[in-house]
Amino acid sequence: MTDCIEFQDLGSMDYKIAWEYQEEIFKKRVNQKLINRESSEASRVFLKDKLLFVEHPHVYTLGKSGNRDNLLIQDDFLKQIKASYYHIDRGGDITYHGPGQIVAYPVFDLEHFGIYLKQYVFGLEECIIQTLSEFNITAQRMDGATGVWLDSDTADARKICAIGVKASRYITMHGLAFNVNTKLDYFNYINPCGFVDKGVTSLQKELGKEQDIQFVKTILKNKIISYFHALKD
């Protein structure tokens, strides 16, 4: 089924507006799944999985079990740097979203792909690793930490993509944040993902020049769709 995932690029959108839009899609799919379980086979409605891409204005988000102390600045300084802050319902600790970063929100029913949440996170990481390989960058996972890293087993370990997800009845929301042309200075105001001894990087920093983010989006979109389609075949 080559059309089982619908893709939508939201462009640049305020975090709260995108969160509410994503949550609307998520709840619709959860509710439909519950209805289907009480319906005859002939009357069941199956909604396609949805892949959203978006760029956010400067914002910090803290996962449901994260530590607020990992945001190193006060509310008045947040205003000075034109950033907002949200405590949200995904896993993981604190992270930053901003211009030049691809944020992907897959609203997927994992039962469509025959996988569990851990395998899903592995798949998102794999799609980023494959995308980076298109730019001749070798990336890895790190034991005990989600996301995608460069030089993960060295003192120079640095994260290029953060991942934090939520799932209910095997339907996912939230997702990944891939640093392409991201202003990395904004990470100085947090302990990224709760780490105090690890760095962050971007595609621009690693390659030494600004990247065509639309080109990167196309590669990443194709990697995600291809990877998850292959699980269904």
Contact 158, 152 (CB under 8 A): no
Strands (E) located in 13-157: 49-55, 59-62, 84-87, 94-97, 101-107, 140-142, 145-150
Query: Tokens 């390989």 map to which residue?
Result: 133
Tokens of 6: 């619908």
Question: 4 an active-site residue?
Answer: no
| Residue 231 burial (C-beta neighbours within 10 Å; 0-12, 13-18, 19+) | middle
Length of the chain, in residues: 233
Neighbouring-strand partners of residue 7: 51
Task: Identify the active-site residue in 4, 127, 161, 193.
Answer: 193
What is the DSSP secondary structure assignment for residue 43, as one 8-state letter? G
Instruction: Using alpha carbons only, give the angle 213, 216, 221 rounded to the nearest 5 degrees.
Output: 120
Beta-strand relationship, 158-168 and 145-150:
antiparallel
Question: In the 3-class helix/strand/coil scheme, how is 88-99 assigned residue by residue?
Answer: CCCCCCEEEECC
Tokens of 121: 């996170």
Residues classed as catalytic: 193
